[in-house]
Amino acid sequence: MNETSRDRRGLWLGLLPVFAWLMAVLPVVLSGAIGTASGWDQEYFHRPVIHILSAALPSPSLVDYGSATTPGYHLILAVLDRCGADDLTLRLVSSLFALAASVVLARVVTRLSTPAFGALSGLAFLMNPYILGSAIHLSTDAFAFLFLILALAAGIDIARDGVSKHSAARGMVWSCAAAMVRQVLLWCAGVGFLAVLMRIGCGQESRRVRALCVTALMNLPGVLLVGAFVLLWEGLIPPGFRIIHGSGLNSTTPVYILALVGNWGALIAAVHPDFFKALRSRRAVICAIIAVLLAITVKSSYDGPHDGIRWGGTLWTLARYTPQYMDRSLVVVLLATCGGAVIGAVLEIAKGHARRVECYTALLALALGSLAQMFNTKCFERYALPVVLIILPIAIGVLFPTRIETNMPASRVRLGFPIAALFLLLAVASADIYVRLGRENPPPPLPHEFRPIAPPR
């Protein structure tokens, strides 16, 4: 394949997320239909919050305005609402945030690996049920993850080339933007620092003190930003949502994220030609043992809405209807064990690889994100799965062969199965959104749940 044909093929592959958005998202947005949990959040939280902030511009109160998150998303749409944008326009703009996130992820992964894998990564991200729901309804998810992807890309660049003014500035700006939409995403500011630590550990960083100082300073603006809201709210979460989301740590969250890696992440990592060989390595077995020991130490049974803390997602639904023992879901424990094996296999592939620092940085980012998400009392899948679908393609993508040989290795014959299985699961998981579209508005929140009262339109 000559260079022109390769560029043309890469361009068409890069447009796959755009085609998916045009076919699966835009018609629903234009129809005005709602459904699923994202529709519920839109009707009783996000739309009222946008109207509340819009009516209060230019000096809205940000103390207890009806959202559990920092107000970046709502403020942007509130400005549009104040300028006369109707509901359809707001939903369309919000939907474009999801498209932008999927295209950016596809671009980032393409730059790190191959156009085909980049396009598949962007497509899988857009079509997972939580980003798809966010693309169809007013929701903060896609907008927050857009900035997370950009911040992670800056961190991976630091892992590859070292700290520069450009990469440090990008990491600082995008991590602040992510934290302005969701305060919990402040963790992505630390990815650059982790990258430098990995470079030092692998003997690739010559100016250690300078690199550590620069990346440490990258964290300061985000910390100050979130710190200002913490002072304003007198806690990590606005007062109206503190009981729901801020009643203590949820120790199940890292195990649940490992289970998602064992399900979705395994299919992504399996695209690498050496994955199945690495899965039989001692490193993968040790990581699986560590994962199962971790999984059995915490409760992982489904405990249901509305007072429970372990519900909300496809895997939780599966855990609800499958066996459990001593408050441990056997499905979650099994998949978490598989997740440990997947992480071990990726580490085995990375061992001695020229780009292992980038892979290690991505995996550490996943661990950091898992620990940060523990601060939310609720372990909802919508907060975890998109992060897995962002980080795993980056972690495995940097380990791809630098060029495709004319005679494909035998292990590449297997690649059709993980890709087909991944998109089959995506289709099944996302079908529920389309089935529910057009139903009556969901019931209002229960009395103990905060609901803002929007001004009359």
Contacts of 399 by beta carbon, 8 Å cutoff, 6+ apart: 272, 346, 349, 350, 353, 355, 356, 359
Query: Is the same domain home to 394 and 311?
Result: yes
How many residues are given for the chain? 457
Query: Is the same domain home to 146 and 221?
Result: yes
- Rounded distance between C-alpha atoms, residue 445 and residue 243, angstroms: 14
Query: Is the same domain home to 223 and 109?
Result: no
Q: Total structural domains in the chain?
A: 3
Q: Among residues 218, 193, 99, 194, which one has the least CA distance to residue 149?
A: 99
Q: Which of 238, 273, 308 is the last residue of a domain?
A: 238
* Radius of gyration of the chain from its Cα atoms, rounded to whole angstroms: 22
User: What is the 3-class SS of 37-73, one letter each residue?
Assistant: HHHHHHHHHHHHHHHHHHHHCCCCCCCCCCCCCCCHH
Residue 438, helix vs strand vs coil: coil
From first to last of its 457 residues, what are the pLDDT tens digits of the chain?
555 555 566 667 778 899 999 999 999 999 988 877 788 889 889 999 999 999 999 999 999 888 999 999 999 999 999 999 999 999 999 999 999 999 999 999 999 998 889 999 999 999 999 999 999 999 999 999 999 999 999 999 999 999 999 999 999 999 999 999 999 999 999 999 999 999 999 999 989 999 999 999 999 999 999 999 999 999 999 988 988 898 899 999 999 999 999 999 999 999 998 999 999 999 999 999 999 999 999 999 999 887 799 999 999 999 999 999 999 999 999 999 999 999 999 999 999 899 999 999 999 999 999 999 999 999 999 999 999 999 999 999 999 875 444 344 434 435 577 788 888 888 888 888 888 887 776 666 665 566 666 777 6
Q: What is the maximal distance between C-alpha atoms in the chain?
A: 67
Query: Is the same domain home to 420 and 296?
Result: yes
Looking at residue 236, what DSSP letter applies? S
Query: Is the same domain home to 201 and 103?
Result: no
- Rounded distance between C-alpha atoms, residue 276 and residue 415, angstroms: 11
Query: Is the same domain home to 259 and 207?
Result: no
- 228 is written with which tokens? 């200002």
- Rounded distance between C-alpha atoms, residue 359 and residue 284, angstroms: 16
Query: Is the same domain home to 273 and 344?
Result: yes
Query: Is the same domain home to 315 and 385?
Result: yes
Residue 328, helix vs strand vs coil: strand
Looking at residue 451, what DSSP letter applies? -
Query: Is the same domain home to 191 and 304?
Result: no
- Rounded distance between C-alpha atoms, residue 207 and residue 161, angstroms: 12
Query: Is the same domain home to 234 and 346?
Result: no
pLDDT of residue 9: 66
Residue ranges of E strands in 204-334: 324-325, 328-329
- Rounded distance between C-alpha atoms, residue 392 and residue 456, angstroms: 45
pLDDT of residue 287: 98
Query: Is the same domain home to 38 and 119?
Result: yes
Distances in whole angstroms, Cα of residue 12 to Cα of each of 7, 114, 119, 320: 9, 13, 9, 41
Cα dihedral 330/335/336/340 (nearest 10): 140
pLDDT of residue 17: 92
pLDDT of residue 137: 94
pTM above 0.85, yes or no: yes
Q: Among residues 198, 211, 217, which one has the least CA distance to residue 164?
A: 211
Query: Is the same domain home to 162 and 250?
Result: no
Phi, psi of 324 (to 5 degrees): -140, 155
Phi, psi of 328 (to 5 degrees): -115, 125
pLDDT of residue 96: 98
Which domain does 37 fall in, by range?
Answer: 14-139
Q: Token match 């695209």: residue?
A: 271
DSSP-assigned letters across all residues of 140-201: SHHHHHHHHHHHHHHHHHHHHH---HHHHHHHHHHHHHHHHH-GGGGGGGGHHHHHHHHHHH
- 130 is written with which tokens? 């939580």
